[in-house]
Structure 1
Amino acid sequence: MEAIETILKDCYVLEPNVFGDERGYFLESYNKKQFDALIGKEVNFIQDNESFSSQGVLRGLHFQSGEHAQAKLVRVTQGKVLDVAVDLRTNSPSFLKHISVELSSENKKQLFVPRGFAHGFIVLSETAVFNYKVDNWYNKASEGGIIYNDKTLNIDWVLDKELLTISEKDKVLPTVKELFE
């Protein structure tokens, strides 16, 4: 596996070694020892989650704050998404910067999103199965988010606004300005 640094401090794109032959392929999607060495710190994932969504579904931008903040290791096992991470750590050199990475069952890339980040994705294929590991338990009182179309962040979600499916909860999330005032 290879870890590729992004413009966001501590956030990495991971590309696995894929071994293919006439039978198909094999890859190691996670190896704790190798993962920790690649990103330079120990992360103890405690839960795996999976979501299924249709084209145009936009989930995010979400985060957990304080002692309940979560690091995530995300991947797509069916379909294709545009995955977005936003650095919300006020003391970070990449504060309020974001990256967009295409994750798919074809490219088999993963994204490590550290604690202190907002995260979201949009489904680009007909459907997608999105898998992620987290290193902390969910806590409803600590959940937060940023509206997907925040003008400060100016994220290009690729699909036309008319094609998006967004939960009512995500449609009323605050802006960056409201969050940090």
Structure 2
Amino acid sequence: MDKNTVVELPAAGGEVETLLGVLERNRRTFAWKCGGLDAAGMSARLSPSTMTLGGLVKHLALVEDDMFSHRLYGRDPGEPWNRIDWDSDPDWEWRTAADDSPEELMQLWESAVQRSRASIAEALDNGGLGTVGYLVWPDGQSPNLRRMLADMIEEYARHTGHADLIRESIDGLVGEDAPREVPAS
């Protein structure tokens, strides 16, 4: 699989195609919910939450880099993540999103997604869904790529729901991204 390939959700695909298709559909819907907004839209909140679309975009960029660079391979997650003192500022990405333009936020997220696609493709080429990650949990276990993909799908599902509510409050946009044509399996 080419590192830039966007996998569609097949009607009757295998495990890899289905997991990647669900993840890509969630990414696409999330991007649609956050796209085309100005700084005010990216900073809008629904009371009593302090969550914003900009914060969600920056948070998911962090989660992409953390999951598929650091947790999967033990690699440095790169800028800006590796220069943050997370112990003293654990909500840095949420707090600083308002300092970034919508274009900067979307570029940060899109770049993280591209790196994740490349890391996932590498793992699939070198060991498949059973590729064991670098991360070791306190109980001594290490999640494999299958588990990491399931966790990332859950992360997007939860946060796309948040984005859906915030976006509806901004301009009434509701629903899902229009489905794409899927080649026959």
TM-score (norm: length of structure 2): 0.25
**Larger strand fraction of residues:** 1
Q: Which has the higher contact order (CA 8 A, sep 6+)?
A: 2
TM-score (norm: length of structure 1): 0.25
Which is greater in Rg? Answer: 2
